[in-house]
Every structure is written in C-alpha cells, then in structure tokens.
Amino acid sequence: MRLSPPKKIIVERNVANSSLLEQLKKTLPQVPVEVLNHRKDFPKDDPDVLEIISFKGRLLKSCPGTRHYLCCGYQILHFGVQCTLNCTYCILQAYLNQAGLRLFGNEEEIFSALLEELNRNPQTLYRIGTGEYTDSLLLDPWTRFSRRIVPLFARRPNAVLELKTKTNFVENLQGLDHGGRTLVGWSLNTRSVQISEEPRTASIKQRIDAAQRVSGWGYFLSFHFDPLIEHKNWRQGYEETLDRIFQAVDPGRIVWISLGAFRFMPQLKPIVQRRHPRTRILYGEFIRGLDQKMRYFRDIRVELYSFMWETIRKADPQLCVYLCMESEDIWREALGFSPEQRGGLPQMLDDAVKTKMSVGLQCIRSNPCQGETPPGDGGSFGCV
C-alpha cells in the first residue's frame, strides 16, 4: 500500500510551533507549509491539503451509541479527522464537511488531558481508541504519532489503547515500549469486498501479514468485521479471511473480534450513489432500524452473525466475539446468549482485557502512576 503526500500543509498560527509540525517537516520536506491566522481562512474542499489546527473541544468522548442497541462503552481519543482511503460505505462521507485530512497540533494538551482523565478515575478501566473519525495509522509514516502515544499507555494500569486501521503501516510500532497495553486492530472483510469497496486500502493479505508482524513484537490484536456485507459467495469469502487470520497469528493474542452488519443513515445513500456509482451494496434488502439507520432484514443479519460466530468458535471457543450496535434478541438468536448474562457488553470487553492482556485494576493500588508521563520517542510524551 502506498501513501501519496499532500500538495500543501496549512497550519493554524497558534500551533505553528507544534512538535507535530516539526515532525511533518522532517518526513515531508518537499511539501510546502503555509501558516494562516485563523481556520476560517483555510481553503474549502481541497483533498490535497493537510490541515494542522488546534482542537479545543472535548478530546475523550464515548462511542456514539444509541439507547436502542447495546454499546461497548468504548472511549474515543481525537487526534484528527477525515480519511482518504475512500471506502464506498464510509459513514464519514455524511458526517464531515471538509475534504482534506485534518490533524490536531496541540498534542501536548491532548496527552495532558488524557492523563488527567485517567488519574481522576483510577478505579475505571478505560478502553480507548483513535480510529473513529480517521484511520489510526493512515498518516503514521509521516506523523509518527504512534511512537508518542503507545509509550504513554505502557504503564497506565487502568487503560488500554486500540489502534484500528485498514493499512499495513506498522513500521513505527517496532521497538516501542508498549508494556502490553496496546492492541493493534484491523478492519477486515472478504477479498472481493476489499477490491470493490475498499480499493485504496491495504489488501487483506497485507493487513494480516502486518498483524503477524506486530504480534511478533509483543502487541495484542483485535479484528473488526464491520461492515459485514451480504454478497455473492460471502460465506466462502469470510471463511477464507478467518482462516488466514488463525493461520497467521495465535488466537491467544487476539483480545476480541467484533461483528457488525452493514448499516447506513438514509442521507448517506445519495452521497454514495454520487461518489461511487458502481457500488451495489446499497441495493440489498434493508429496513429502517430503531436508530433510523437502514439495516439488513433481521434474518440476513442473524445468518451473517451466526456463520461468523460458529466459524470463529472452531478456531478458539473462548475468544471474545461481540456484536456492534445490535439488540439483545439478535444476540440471543445469532450467538445463543445475551451480554446481560455476562454482566453486560462493557463488562465482557473489560474481562477480555483483564484475561488476555493481564490488565487488572488491582495493580492500581500498588502502582498508581499518579502524574507519571512515560517517555515518548524523544524523551517525554510531547517530544518527537
């Protein structure tokens, strides 16, 4: 997989001296940099521009679930928005009003706010990810963001980090002090879906090869089959992907696998039709769900989940598998149990972390780490 550099980097003046910009100047020396006073002066809808701004909102947010479906209790750490992988089904097409990639230059503030939150609630186990509004590793070859954030979690007794990606950009993870507190996760699909709906991403083989590499470096893994898409020979395709996973990595290194059937907001449909006129994924059998999203008919979702569940169980009956944004009755029909029987979905995932990653809150009393700022790549968590 190749990453095309931007034609220009535009920076908000109040982060013009940021360590992030200094790093980008080193890895992208040929790209011109322009500093502007205010964000409102930035060009509109230019996909070839990389923007660096100061983010002043809430940096750690709960996953945007809905009361109608079971949510996993995930926390999202913002470090940037937008993605250039251009997957046909991507929900960001309907959410974001800028075409270019945008990164937050006030990293030191982001990390300080994160540490403050973790120290404020030492008895809470935080599962934190960075892949909600952008791909966690898409720009890592340029930003080397992973080399600053992974060591930050290495000795945090009450938090784990998940970096979720569709790339194979894992080189910066090698040799880091991760302390067994970081999962590297991949969104996966069948080979045919990857080719038709995710053409700019790393191939399925490249992603699984990358997973094998980071597993060898001591990282834990996660895999996300979301969206599961009903298509010709989907059973064979998903079985082949799962077989590749379990042939490449030890299931004992996989903390969880999530499953989510394709769903979309109605307003996304005309956007996809305009941007990706060849895709056929919008023309299946859908019904409006309780969250107002278009979802496959119930029997299709149950069939998808049941097949994946049984195939995964053949490889590892104990592996934590969960459904993303589904109701209890779908859980019971497809998987044979409800998360409430196991303490709820957040508790299921917390237990997977404690069991697989040996992360438990009991260590907080003996190793509180209050106020600690573990070293990053250059000696402190804010340095490059």
Phi/psi of residue 5, nearest 5 degrees: -70, 155
pLDDT in tens, 94-114: 877 777 899 999 999 989 989
- Joined together, the tokens standing for residue 73 give 């209790």
Q: Is the pLDDT of residue 152 over 70?
A: yes
pLDDT in tens, 239-296: 999 999 999 999 999 999 999 999 999 999 999 999 999 999 999 999 999 889 999 9
CA–CA separation, 70 vs 293, rounded Å?
A: 15
- Which pLDDT score is estimated for 362? 42
CA–CA separation, 80 vs 276, rounded Å?
A: 25
Contact between 247 and 239 under an 8 Å Cβ cutoff? The reply is no
Region 42-59 average pLDDT:
85
Q: Is the pLDDT of residue 55 over 90?
A: no
- Which pLDDT score is estimated for 40? 79
Amino acid at 155: R
**297-to-261, 262, 263, 332 alpha-carbon distances in Å:** 10, 11, 11, 16
314 vs 62, residue with greater confidence = 314
CA–CA separation, 345 vs 91, rounded Å?
A: 24
Q: Choose the CATH number for 60-83+122-366 among 3.40.50.720, 3.80.30.30, 3.40.50.170, 1.10.150.20.
A: 3.80.30.30
CA–CA separation, 306 vs 33, rounded Å?
A: 51
pLDDT winner (highest mean) among 30-34, 65-69, 115-119, 354-358? 30-34
53 vs 378, residue with greater confidence = 53
What percent of the chain has a predicted confidence (pLDDT) above 70? Answer: 92
Residue 231 CB coordination number (10 Å): 17
Amino acid at 205: K
**Strand 80-81 with 263-264, pairing:** unpaired
- Which pLDDT score is estimated for 380? 25
What percent of the chain has a predicted confidence (pLDDT) above 90? Answer: 77
Q: What b/e sequence results for 59-95 when a residue is b if at least 16 CB atoms lie within 10 Å of its CB, and e otherwise?
A: bbeeeebeeebbbbbbbbbbbbbbbbbebbbbeebbe
CA–CA separation, 296 vs 88, rounded Å?
A: 17
What is the value of pTM for the model shown?
A: 0.90
